[in-house]
Amino acid sequence: MSSKDNIFHQPMDNPAPFVFDEAVAQVFPDMIKRSVPGYSNVIAGTGLIAGDYVQPGTNCYDLGCSVGASTFAMLQYIKTDDFHLLAVDNSPHMVKLCQQNISGNNHAGNVEVTCADIQDVGISNASVVVLNFTLQFIPLEKRADLLTRIFQGMNEGGVLVLSEKLAFDSLAEQQRQTALHESFKRAQGYSDLEISQKRAALENVLIPESLATHLQRLTDIGFRDAQLWFRSINFASMMTWK
Ligand code: GEK
């Protein structure tokens, strides 16, 4: 059980840009569950997809693993013992908690948790690659390069799961979706002050793109059948294959 997220509870003069520091890592499971509509469904679905597409003798990747939710879901559904799962995050606080969480799992021996920038991690012999709510933190101009490297490191038939916050081309749609997301957060117990301070902290840190932009970029890189498999308000999960 993680602690309750109170990080943006007190009034702040000018919220600093959001970082994945120790305070955030400590409350992360509570924060993401109460901030991302459909989060639990995305995590469970990620496990199912991994179970369906993992190939024996290959590598699986959880890129931007935080404290390990997607890794755990994959371990639950992967049926072979012959796989290596690399969980990567560049926050040492997240990595430390992820390592602690995984250490008790039956398949801990198959998992390597690494503190690194996912832009520097080599991808090879991959049958499952998961980018759950992480690409949105990579600079826009670097996203195609990262996805291209992932594509190059994947085996034929391998799957990529990509989950992201969405932006909308229509201003009216953007406003409706933002309002609904804020209603979701209020229903999860966040105050208007917490919502607005976190929004300010994430400005220019989390940069969402439209569903069409994501699907087109995946297709341009060479991925096939890029498609939506889950959406809740302004958060979506896609899957695509090499
Ligand atoms: C989950 N997937 O629970 N390299 C490595 N890690 C990074 C980088 C980078 N360049 N940029 C950000 N991160 C998880 C949730 S959270 C999503 C992922 C969110 C890491 C960052 O440290 C954080 O742990 C994670 O990506 C994003 O399904 O907070 O909205």
**What pLDDT was estimated at residue 196?**
86
Residue 199 lies in a domain: no
163 in contact with ligand 1, CB cutoff 6 A = no
Q: Spell out a b/e string for 46-79, using b for 16 or more CB atoms within 10 Å of the CB, else e.
A: bbebbbebbbeebbbbbbbbbbbbbbbbbbebbe
71 in contact with ligand 1, CB cutoff 6 A = no
Residue 31 lies in a domain: no
136 in contact with ligand 1, CB cutoff 6 A = no
Residue 224 lies in a domain: yes
Span from the CA of 137 to the centroid of ligand 1 (angstroms) = 7
Residues 6+ apart with CB under 8 A from 171: none
**What pLDDT was estimated at residue 14?**
83
- Please give the average per-residue pLDDT across 91-111, as a whole number: 95
- Which residue has tokens 């049958």? 127
The tally of domains found in the chain comes to 1
Span from the CA of 6 to the centroid of ligand 1 (angstroms) = 19
47 in contact with ligand 1, CB cutoff 6 A = no
**What pLDDT was estimated at residue 134?**
98
pLDDT tier at 9 (50, 70, 90 boundaries)? confident
Residue 201 lies in a domain: no
203 in contact with ligand 1, CB cutoff 6 A = no
Return the CATH number at 106.
Answer: 3.40.50.150
SS3 letters across 5-62: CCCCCCCCCCCCCCCCCHHHHHHHHHHHHHHCCCHHHHHHHHHHHHHHHCCCCEEEEE
C-alpha to C-alpha distance for 77 and 8, rounded to whole angstroms: 36
C-alpha to C-alpha distance for 106 and 140, rounded to whole angstroms: 38
Residue 147 lies in a domain: yes
Span from the CA of 89 to the centroid of ligand 1 (angstroms) = 6
> Percent of the chain, pLDDT > 90?
82
Span from the CA of 58 to the centroid of ligand 1 (angstroms) = 23
Q: Spell out a b/e string for 181-205, using b for 16 or more CB atoms within 10 Å of the CB, else e.
A: bbebbeeeebeeebbebbbebbeee
132 in contact with ligand 1, CB cutoff 6 A = yes
pLDDT tier at 135 (50, 70, 90 boundaries)? very high
Residue 197 lies in a domain: no
Residue 33 has pLDDT above 60, yes or no: yes
Residue 155 lies in a domain: yes
Query: What is the full DSSP assignment across 121-160?
Result: ----SEEEEEEES-GGGS-GGGHHHHHHHHHHHEEEEEEE
| pLDDT tens-place string over residues 167-200 | 999 999 999 999 999 999 999 998 888 888 888 8
The residues facing 59 across adjacent strands are: 84, 126
Q: Is 114 exposed, middle or buried (0-12, 13-18, 19+ CB in 10 A)?
A: middle
Span from the CA of 17 to the centroid of ligand 1 (angstroms) = 15
Span from the CA of 68 to the centroid of ligand 1 (angstroms) = 10
Tokens of 36: 């991302």
Cα atoms in the Cβ-side hemisphere of radius 13 Å centred on 179: 6
**Closest atom, ligand 1, to C-alpha of 69:** 3
Determine the structural domain holding residue 119 and report its residue range: 39-167+206-241
- Ligand 1 pocket, mutate which of 2, 8, 20 (most atoms under 8 A from CB): 20
Residue 34 lies in a domain: no
89 in contact with ligand 1, CB cutoff 6 A = yes
- Is the pTM of the predicted complex or chain greater than 0.85? yes
